[in-house]
Amino acid sequence: MVNFREYKIGARFFGIALGGSMCITLFLPSFDFRNVNATEVALDKQLWAGWESGFNLDDPWLRGDHRPLRVTLKVDPKTGQPMEATTAYVYPAGTRMPNGVDHPDILGAMVQQLSLDKGRISEANESQGAVFLLSSEPQGDGTKQFYIEDASATKGWTPDAVLKAAGDENTYHAAYGKAIFVREGCWWCHTLLPEETQDWQVFGAPPMLGDFNGESPTAFGSDRKAPDILHVGSRNSSREWMMMHFFNPRLVQPYSIMPRFDYLWGKVDAKGQTIDYDKWRSEYNEYVEGQRVTPPEVPMYASNSDARALIDFVLSLK
Amino acid sequence: MLKYLFAKNEDIPDGAAAVYFGFSAITWFVIGTGLGAFNASKLAFPDFVTGLEFVSFGHMRQVHVHAVIIGWISMAFAMAMMYMTPALGNTKLWSEKLGVWNALLWNVGLSLGLTLLWAGMTSGREYSDFPWFIDLYVVFLVVMPLGINVWKTIIHRKTQGIYTTNWFFASAVFMVGVVFLVGNLPEYFHLTGLTEAYLTWWFAHNVLGLWITPVAAAIAYYTIPKVSGNPLYSHRIGHLHFWSVVVFYSTPAAHHLMSAPLPEWLKSFASVEGVLILVPAVAFVSNILLTMQGKWNMFVENLEIRFTVTACLMAIPLNMQGGFQQTRAINWYIHGTGWIVAHAHLALLGFSTFAEVAAVYLGLQTLMKRKLYSLTLGNLHFWFLLIGFTTYWVSMTIAGLIQGAGKIYEVPYIDVVMAEHPYMIARWIGGSLVFTGNCVWLYNMWMTARAGTVVPEGRMPHELAYER
Ligand code: HEM
């Protein structure tokens, strides 16, 4: 064995160089990230998206299991009295709590304190499930400070009662939809990041430093082959359009290169009838060749289908 | 090969692991580029094969990327390490048995990982798409055994100094392990938000900067002197290259997120460090090209030299892009466009792949002691790769510039999609050429193993005349 001594200096320099660069690129930025207070956008997003939208042990195949739901309440779930429309985030029993509830310190000092003191989020737990609200506290300077409120603790709302009070038509499977967004690789074409230069004029405001606390994965996307969809729900809120576009984008946009996502409809439609894809496709081909005047009708998706969840998700991107 | 898994280390012939790695790498190259060509066809003709979850673009893209990076690129690196490290230390590989196991576990892990990705089990993080248990598999069952073999071989060398190539090998296997561990922290510990976004790109940048680029360069440092017979032009410049990679290449990760709301100081820092990447780049290119002095005839006559020098020439535009495209003045135009895809392929399919192809050609011929079966097919391979790649690169660069213009002039997006269409078709044709070339290569190497002219002891394959 040849003596290694002459390389000891080299090895030490190597350690210093690599360690130094890691210090600058990993350690120092962590201070900036840690001091950010979560904005309203970040709180809303983590509450509807839940703990994790990518691979996780609760839903390894990203099929939408154990996901929270976003609902619009028009009646009080306890008394049944009509009330002002309110957004609530429902975590049925067995659903992992959102990141800010699991680890309040990621919310930033101010939001953490309000969420713990006024929002009582430390009382929320996975085994019983919880209902959250996005609440705010007026500040001295006229602005509002948002925080997470655990309505199961402060108001005694249970997940089941809230879901029942809202009804299926006011329930949005946005978290399930985001999991599909990740699974189906929409982010290889669409970004979720209007750039800070020009393109926000078309795609809407670029996000800010505090808009991401608790989100995972952020799935910004890097090569854009399609419009940015961070704010697509504000440009286009038509369910009909989305339905046709996902089933076959070329129904509404003949030059689109977006893939067909008709398989997200599953086997049956809303009425429980089997969807005959072969027939649909051959009729569509006839339409493309000019042998039919109108394209075949797009089947209505079943309420528990992937397609419904995906559209709920896309329309929640305001 | 499988019979060596349980053989005694002494009974395994020298180079068995390298040959196993070499053929695995070529096979993954064929698979990976086949998938690439399939993806390209889907972006050109979205209804090409449709209506099935498993053939949709969103499921296949990451499979292509990981098949080529972890299958082709990294296994070819391992192949090179298995035969260059001992050769440069005038010794044997520390353990052929570990090497053979390493190759087997690599193939198994990668096949598993790709199947899961294909089925949609993904972390949703670009380049670190594998779920965390596959990442751990990569660290402990893929990178570690490779590292142990390389380090042990270097320690047991019979030369006094350590040659440039081996500094790079020894440090790069260490660094890629660290990168896989640190870059996936968001998955192990569920870090979220901007931390997750930043670490995703920290990982992506450093896998390229501390693994692929330095190892590809290290390979060229071996191939060119070995085949041309010239000594390396300058070890000093080699030092400069090595240290500037460690110091400058490991820092600009944030330049992938120039339009995200990261702290401004971090973006400015990354932007400046990015320009400093030119230091190792210029050192490398000049060192290799100057080593060729007096032997430029081999650029025409010798296949390995032609591949390596082409790689080196492609590193010039690559680093000019790499050095400047993260500056704010340029980044706002090209960020997120096909330009970046073209750049990524210039790095991986151009520079790095060409250097490795040469190493695999050289290594397999030397270790199997067989001269290449057919030079004609070898030449065909070269031109298919070069023409295919160039078509890809030119078309995607143009497509990227169109997208950039569309972005800043706020053209309705669908018009950009329509304008890109011809370039998408061109990219698909280019990619198919690369794929065809690779099929030819696999056949050629297979026939070399079976029917190549035997190379006598003590001779280099290229010293023999072609008979076919
Ligand atoms: C047959 C040749 C090839 C074809 C047709 C091809 C095609 C493609 C396509 C269509 C994409 C998606 C690009 C996009 O999202 O716009 C892609 C991405 C990628 N390919 Fe290839 N590829 C080929 C060969 C290779 C090779 C040999 C490598 C590496 C050795 C490679 C590495 C990559 C990487 C790293 C990406 C991700 C790029 C990015 O994120 O910007 N490809 N490729």
End-to-end CA separation in angstroms for chain A = 66
CA distances from A193 to A229, B261, B310, B335 (A): 8, 10, 37, 11
Chain A contact present for B59, CB below 8 A: yes
Give the side-chain half-sphere CA count within 13 A for A108: 23
* Tokens linked to B10: 């002494």
Q: Which residue has the least CA distance to atom 37 on ligand 1?
A: B65
Q: How far apart are alpha carbons A54 and A61 in whole angstroms? A: 9
| pLDDT at residue A195 in the model | 87
Closest CA to A52 of A150, A187, A175, A134: A175
- Category of B357 on φ-ψ map: left (φ > 0), alpha (ψ -120 to 50) or beta: alpha
Instruction: Kindly state if the Cβ of B35 falls inside 6 Å of ligand 1.
Output: no
Does the distance separating the beta carbons of B158 and A187 come in below 8 Å? no
pLDDT at B223 over 70: yes
pLDDT at A1: 44
Between CA A275 and CA B218 the distance in angstroms is 57
Please report the pLDDT score of residue B468 as a whole number.
64
Residues 6+ apart with CB under 8 A from B446: none
pLDDT tens, residue by residue, A172-219 = 999 999 999 999 999 999 999 998 777 777 899 999 999 999 999 999
Q: Does A142 touch chain B (CB under 8 A)?
A: no
Q: Which residue of B has its CA nearest to A211?
A: B193
- At residue B9 the predicted structure's pLDDT band, cuts being 50, 70 and 90, is confident
Residue pLDDT, tens place only, B249-302: 999 999 999 989 999 999 999 999 999 999 999 999 999 999 999 999 999 999
Counting every residue, how long is chain A? Answer: 318
Task: Quote the DSSP letter at residue A123.
Answer: G
**Could you read off the pLDDT of B21-35 as tens digits, one per residue?**
999 999 999 999 999
Nearest CB among A61, A256, A257 relative to B121 is that of A61
**Which residues does B422 contact at the CB level (< 8 Å), separation at least 6?**
none
Tokens of B419: 């304008």
Question: Which of A13, A65, A220, A310 would best serve as a mutation to test chain B binding (most B beta carbons within 10 A)?
Answer: A220
Backbone φ and ψ of B272, nearest 5°:
-70, -45
CA B330-B332-B334 angle, 5° bins = 70
H/E stretch holding A85 reads strand A82-91
Q: Using CA atoms, how far apart are residues B82 and B76, in angstroms rounded to an integer?
A: 10
Asked: is A180-316 a CATH 3.20.10.10 domain? The reply is: no
> Are the Cβ atoms of B192 and A2 closer than 8 angstroms?
no
CA-B126 nearest atom, ligand 1: 40
User: Distance between terminal CA atoms of chain B?
Assistant: 28
Give start and end residues of each alpha helix (H) in B4-56.
16-44
What is the per-residue pLDDT for A197? Answer: 74
Q: What is the pLDDT of residue A4?
A: 56
A128: which strand partners? none
Residue A61 confidence (pLDDT)? 95
Angle at B141 between CA B137 and CA B143, to 5 degrees: 100
Q: Tens digit of pLDDT for each residue in B83-112?
A: 999 999 999 999 999 999 999 999 999 999
Q: Name the token pair of B227.
A: 């085949």
ipTM: 0.94
The per-residue pLDDT for A39 is 94
- How high is the pLDDT of residue A5? 61
With beta carbons less than 8 A apart as the criterion, state whether B186 and B125 touch: yes
B268/A contact by beta carbon, under 8 A: no
The secondary structure of residue A95, as a DSSP letter, is P
Distance CA B434, CA B72 (A): 14
Question: Does residue B237 have its Cβ closer than 6 Å to ligand 1?
Answer: no
Cα gap B207→B61, rounded to integer Å: 18
Task: Look at A263 and B159 and tell me if their CB atoms are within 8 Å.
Answer: no
Sheet containing A144-150: order of strands: A144-150, A130-138, A82-91, A69-75, A171-172
Structure tokens at A84: 């002002």
Contacts of A261 in chain B (CB under 8 A): 56
Listed by start position, the domains of chain A span 2-35, 40-173, 180-316
Answer whether the bond into residue A207 is a cis peptide, omega within 30°: no
CA distances (Å), B421 to each of B45, B425, B428, in order?
9, 6, 11
pLDDT category of residue B464 using cuts at 50, 70 and 90: confident
Q: What is the 3 state secondary structure string of A126-175?
A: CCCCEEEEEEEEECCCCCEEEEEEEHHHHCCCCHHHHHHHHCHHHEECHH
Q: How far apart are CA B122 and CA A318, in angstroms?
A: 26
How do residues B406-445 score in pLDDT, each as one tens digit?
988 889 999 999 999 999 999 999 999 999 999 999 999 9
d(CA A184, CA A84): 37
- Between chain A and chain B, the number of residue pairs with CB atoms below 8 A apart is 228
> Mean of the per-residue pLDDT values for chain B?
94
Q: What is the pLDDT of residues B351-361, one digit of tens each?
A: 999 999 999 99
CB A14 within 8 A of CB A139: no
Instruction: Enumerate residue ranges in chain A where pLDDT < 50.
Output: 1-2
Residue A262: closest CA among A312, A297, A313? A297
At residue A84, the pLDDT reads: 94
Residue among B195, B200, B256 whose CB faces A33 most closely: B195
**Residue whose CA is at the smallest distance from ligand 1 atom 10:** B40
Q: Rg of chain B over CA atoms, in angstroms? A: 22
CA distance B307 to B349: 12
Helix axes B278-291, B264-276, angle to 10 degrees: 10
> Do B336 and A22 lie within an 8 Å CB cutoff?
no
B431 within ligand 1 shell (Cβ under 6 A): yes
Closest residue, chain B, to A222 (C-alpha): B336
Classify residue A31 by burial, with Cβ atoms within 10 Å: 0-12, 13-18, 19+.
exposed
Q: In angstroms, what is the span from residue A262 Cα to ligand 1's centroid?
A: 26
**Quick one: pLDDT at residue B271?**
92
A52-73 pLDDT, tens digit each: 999 999 999 999 999 999 999 9
Structure tokens, A283 = 């009729």
Question: Could you tell me the two tokens for B58?
Answer: 């969103």
Q: How far is CA A87 from CA A92, A115, A239, in A?
A: 16, 17, 20
What integer pLDDT is reported at residue B116 of this predicted model?
Answer: 97
Interatomic CA distance for residues A261 and B53, integer angstroms: 8
Distance CA B296, CA B467 (A): 24
Is the CB–ligand 1 distance for residue B344 below 6 Å? yes
Q: Exposed, middle or buried, A293 (CB in 10 Å: 0-12/13-18/19+)?
A: exposed
Identify which of B226, B272, B224 has the alpha carbon closest to the alpha carbon of residue B248.
B272
Quick: pLDDT tens for B147-167. Answer: 999 999 999 999 988 999 999
Measured in angstroms, how far is the CA atom of residue B138 from the centroid of ligand 1? 22
